[in-house]
Amino acid sequence: MSDQHLPSSPRRKFMLGAAALPLALAMSRIGHAAALPTAQVNTTGLAVTDTEVVVGQLHSATGTMAISETGSIQAEQLAIDQINAMGGILGRKIRVIKEDGASDWPTFAEKSRKLLVNDKVATVFGCWTSASRKAVLPIFEKENGLLYYPTFYEGLEQSKNVIYTGQEATQQILYGLDWAKQEKSAKTFFLIGSDYIWPRTSMKIARKHVEAFQGGKIVGEEYYPLGHTNFNSLINKIKIAKPDCIFAAVVGGSNVAFYKQLKAAGITGARQFLLTLSVTEDEMLGVGGENFAGFYSSMKYFQSLDNANNKAFVEAFKKAYGPKAVIGDVTQAAYLGPWLWKAAVEKAGSFDVDKVVAASPGIELPTAPEGYVKIHENHHLYSKARIAEGQPDGSFKVVAESPELMVPDPFPKGYQ
């Protein structure tokens, strides 16, 4: 990333100073604005009063995706509580209306319509799977709502009505595959995913990269329904194919069965190189470190990151949700959502969606737990890519990190 995308020296000095502050105070340095008349900050009929602004939260609190989405629910609430403790946004406290997408895409669509049309929320923090995002996207675009979407995803999308706080394909998939080739000498890959849009599109991108740009070979490709729990036939196919790398995008509760059955079949990190796009500390709670030890994940955030901002974030999260609570990649990206929205609203001096959207490009979070991030004009974040190895205790040890922030490129040439 070139210097023109980085803060100026005075700004950088300020960021470094802010890093030593307690988390909420440090995050608050992105801006603060006093109360303005409601008629001035709300010209489109949103649920905003002189003392309150209403937002929506739409995740799967139940169903197969709850194992992954619970952390997002918690992190967004933590950020909102911290913002409210500081006085709120434009002098107004945030009130949250929580809806359960229940791991069902039509339910996500129905609940998003309720939040935007009936509740008239100022913004929504929500979704996890690409299927749920695709289900709600037409509604957000029709009703001119604003969604902060926290999950790493396949890219190939850019909407005026969405801020993407997770990684797109070039920041996760391509970086991970290049690392696999360079550091593990991987030339043959077995692609595995859950059967919906994100894994299938991600693996299409992976196949293109391996075959066309790396000169490698795909020796297997399999997909299974969400919630699938019997992977014995797949494991037999893997043993026959003998890939250098198992490249996996199995999501939700299926991860628990997948990794336990791999270990039972003798496929462990000591014998087989496996790189996944979809196991974070959240999934590790169910999978168990003993079943994932020695395998690798490609993410932008791991709870073990050693910086002052992350240590404060982890401390605050555990204080709110208990000492055994863990924080995965998407959980951290979800935490960024309310802070990015706060910064954009205060920059715009308004809760109106069009004004907030216009103010969003260039918004920075210098004290994000993952490190400095910034919103690109394409509504994705500049961020670093990282690879980490699973440990027996369920934690991750970072083994690789991109030297600079990666510019988000949701429409990479040659992959569409």
308-328, pLDDT tens digit by residue? 999 999 999 999 999 999 999
CB 53: neighbour CB atoms within 10 A?
Answer: 24
Q: Tokens representing 143?
A: 């009703």
pLDDT of 132: 97
Does residue 413 fall inside a structural domain? no
Does residue 56 fall inside a structural domain? yes
Distance CA 200, CA 234 (A): 17
Q: What is the CATH number of the domain that holds 331?
A: 3.40.50.2300
Q: Exposed, middle or buried: residue 169 (CB in 10 Å: 0-12, 13-18, 19+)?
A: buried
Residues 370 and 226 in one domain: no
Distance CA 67, CA 152 (A): 16
Tell the residue number behind the tokens 């979809």, with chain if given. Answer: 278
Residues 333 and 367 in one domain: yes
pLDDT of 33: 58
Residues 325 and 394 in one domain: no
Residues 65 and 76 in one domain: yes
Residues 138 and 175 in one domain: no
pLDDT of 32: 53
Distance CA 167, CA 164 (A): 8
pLDDT of 28: 54
CA dihedral 33, 39, 44, 47 (to 10 degrees): 70
Q: Exposed, middle or buried: residue 331 (CB in 10 Å: 0-12, 13-18, 19+)?
A: buried
Q: Which of 211, 234, 240 is nearest to 222 (CA)?
A: 234
- Angle, nearest 10°, between helix axes 329-348 and 66-85? 40
Give the domain extent around 238: 169-299+385-401
325-365, pLDDT tens digit by residue? 999 999 999 999 999 999 999 999 999 999 999 999 999 99
Distance CA 223, CA 221 (A): 7
Residues 154 and 16 in one domain: yes
Task: Domain count for the chain, please give it.
Answer: 2
Residues β-bridged to residue 191: 221, 247
Tell the residue number behind the tokens 């924080």, with chain if given. Answer: 327
pLDDT of 47: 98
Residues 8 and 111 in one domain: yes
Distance CA 372, CA 22 (A): 16
Residues 98 and 155 in one domain: yes
- Name residues of the chain where pLDDT drops below 70: 1-34
Residues 233 and 345 in one domain: no
Does residue 199 fall inside a structural domain? yes
Residues 62 and 137 in one domain: yes
pLDDT of 8: 33
pLDDT of 35: 80
By percentage, how much of the chain surpasses pLDDT 90? 90
Residues β-bridged to residue 254: none
pLDDT of 34: 66
Q: Which of 204, 79, 127, 163 is nearest to 363 (CA)?
A: 163
pLDDT of 2: 36
Does residue 409 fall inside a structural domain? no
Residues 295 and 210 in one domain: yes
E strands, 111-206, are 124-126, 147-149, 162-164, 188-194
Does residue 408 fall inside a structural domain? no
Inter-residue contact 323 to 281 (CB < 8 Å): no
Does residue 410 fall inside a structural domain? no
pLDDT of 16: 30
Residues 193 and 118 in one domain: no
Query: Regarding beta strands 364-365 and 373-375, do their DSSP bridges make them parallel or antiparallel, or are they unpaired?
Result: antiparallel
Integer-rounded Cα Rg, in Å, for the chain is 21
pLDDT of 24: 61
Q: Which amino acid is at 260?
A: K
Query: Regarding beta strands 273-276 and 364-365, do their DSSP bridges make them parallel or antiparallel, or are they unpaired?
Result: unpaired
Does residue 34 fall inside a structural domain? yes
